[in-house]
Homo-oligomer: A and B are copies of this chain.
Amino acid sequence: MSMQALDITVPFARNHRNQFPALLPVPVPAPGWFGPMAVSHSFVRNEEVYGEGEPAEYLYTIQTGCVRTSKILTDGRRQIGAFYLPGDVFGLEADDVRSFSAEALTATTVHVVKRTALFLRTATANQLLKLTVEELNRTQGRVLLLIKSAQERVAGFLLEMANRCHTSDDIELPMSRQDIADYLGLTIETVSRTLTHLESVGAISLPTSRHIVFSNRAALARLNA
């Protein structure tokens, strides 16, 4: 492989493996890192820790037991966000509002700390965290896609791309059918057939294979369930 030289200032030396230190080199305090602000709380089996839509004021770290986060989709299906075991932290949200509810699977004790008690001093820290939480959200959105049918996946993918492109009624896809298939966990044939089907029902039209026109966005949103 060939190299191209750039002039960059380096604040740190490489370590012994000739690698730069990790992004997060600070040693990790044990699960009790919440420190003296933390308050203990217990939940019985099936008890709700918080509900979807409530204000997201607290972070939780599990001492004993197990918690699941979940949400009910519009079609009645239930999606599990994650399972949390002792040592895990949950309750981080990008928004001020809970996007999932949380329930204790077994008798559970947690430590609780107010989110606002954790201050980040630098704009960089806030920005990095914000970016990471956003990517986490996008990934969770993808999980939401992957538990659905092929038609819902493709419709959801198109809507997501349109959203991120800030375009309203048509998009020029930069990726191949194979890329889309690998992204959605489908085969290229299924993606192609599904797009054809979406066109045949009038939800989209396909002037060229990568140019998607949203003829009926409402229909598309409906197919996304």
- Verify A175–B4 contact, CB threshold 8 A: no
Measured between beta carbons, the chain B residues less than 8 angstroms from A174 are 65-66, 83, 105-106
CB closest chain-B residue, reference A119: B124
- Verify B131–A89 contact, CB threshold 8 A: yes
> What string of 1s and 0s marks CB contacts (under 8 Å) between A139-150 and chain B?
110110011100
Partner of A3, one of B3, B10, B28: B10
Complexed CA–CA distance, A39 and B9 (Å): 11
Measured between beta carbons, the chain B residues less than 8 angstroms from A1 are 11, 13-14
With A127-B26, A129-B132, A147-B185 in contact, is A116–B83 under 8 Å at CB? no
A164 at interface by CB-CB < 8 Å: yes
- Verify A92–B147 contact, CB threshold 8 A: no
Measured between beta carbons, the chain B residues less than 8 angstroms from A142 are 82, 143
Measured between beta carbons, the chain B residues less than 8 angstroms from A10 are 3-6, 8, 114, 116
A95 at interface by CB-CB < 8 Å: yes
A218 at interface by CB-CB < 8 Å: no
Measured between beta carbons, the chain B residues less than 8 angstroms from A29 are 123, 127
Measured between beta carbons, the chain B residues less than 8 angstroms from A21 are 96, 116
A190 at interface by CB-CB < 8 Å: no
Q: Which of A52-88 contact B (CB under 8 A)?
A: 55-57, 65-66, 68, 70, 77-80, 82-83, 85, 88
Measured between beta carbons, the chain B residues less than 8 angstroms from A179 are 68, 80, 83, 105
- Verify A92–B23 contact, CB threshold 8 A: yes
> What string of 1s and 0s marks CB contacts (under 8 Å) between A156-194 and chain B?
000001001100000000110001001101000000000
A125 at interface by CB-CB < 8 Å: yes
Q: 27 interchain pairs (CB within 8 A)? A: A3-B10, A3-B12, A9-B117, A19-B55, A20-B55, A20-B115, A24-B129, A24-B133, A26-B127, A33-B124, A33-B127, A70-B182, A80-B179, A80-B182, A83-B179, A85-B164, A88-B164, A92-B132, A92-B135, A118-B124, A119-B122, A121-B125, A135-B136, A136-B139, A146-B147, A147-B185, A148-B185
